[in-house]
Amino acid sequence: MIQAGSTVLFQGDSITDCGRGRNDDAPNSLGALGQGYPKMAAGRLLKERPGDALKILNRGVGGNRIVDLYARWKSDAINLAPDLISILIGVNDTWHEFGSQNGVEVDRYETVYRMLLDLTKERLPDAKLVLCEPFVLLFGAVTAEWLDEMAARRDVVRRLAEGYEATFVPFQSAFDEALKSAGPDYWTRDGVHPTVAGHCLMADTWLNTVC
């Protein structure tokens, strides 16, 4: 799926951002890739394919909801002309509602997500799309009242992946399976943000699905 010479873009919220440097936007740069699953996945790809001239970028921004991602999509995605775009977005659309009543309802989440994908198809018709399943673990900041809404968001992303012929990365399923071997505090810091082990699990899941 990732051809030689491709530019790969990771997009999303703080889970993707994970401390990436804002003053360094060079592809394959340690500082620009952050400390999470995009850097781990990039490292594996670059190690295994040294002659393929891959360029890997991270433009995740902490705190983003789908509406925030759409607002910056032209500058942070379209203008970069990537060959593959990986998107993980959705947890803040729920979290911000419970925390500050500034979330994005599931139906509006789907509407804006479709707008973003339609724009991408229009401007970058040859770009491959990877839609990642938003996930939470019942721990820390996450309470039981989040679960049905997050399940509805996952259903949206799964339908969008099918409708737009995108690759669907099952992060929630991967974490659910991982809970059989260790508790939620091993895989996440607060039910949302992964630990080192959680990010490694995500990188492996992404690579196994996409590659």
* Residues 9-46: tens digit of each pLDDT: 999 999 999 999 998 889 999 999 999 999 999 999 99
Confidence (pLDDT) at 14? 97
Domain 7-210: CATH class, spelled out: alpha beta
Q: Give, for 44, the enclosing helix (H) or strand (E).
A: helix 37-48
Confidence (pLDDT) at 100? 81
* Residues 176-188: tens digit of each pLDDT: 999 999 999 999 9
Q: How many angstroms separate the Cα of 162 from the Cα of each of 131, 178, 180?
A: 10, 26, 29
Q: What's the pLDDT band for 97 if we cut at 50, 70, 90?
A: confident
Res 98 pLDDT > 90 = no
Per-domain boundaries in the chain: 7-210
Q: Report, as residue numbers or ranges, the catalytic residues.
A: 14, 190, 193
Token readout for 165 is: 């012929």
Mean pLDDT of 66-70: 98
Res 99 pLDDT > 80 = no
Distance CA 60, CA 58 (A): 6
Mean pLDDT of 178-202: 98
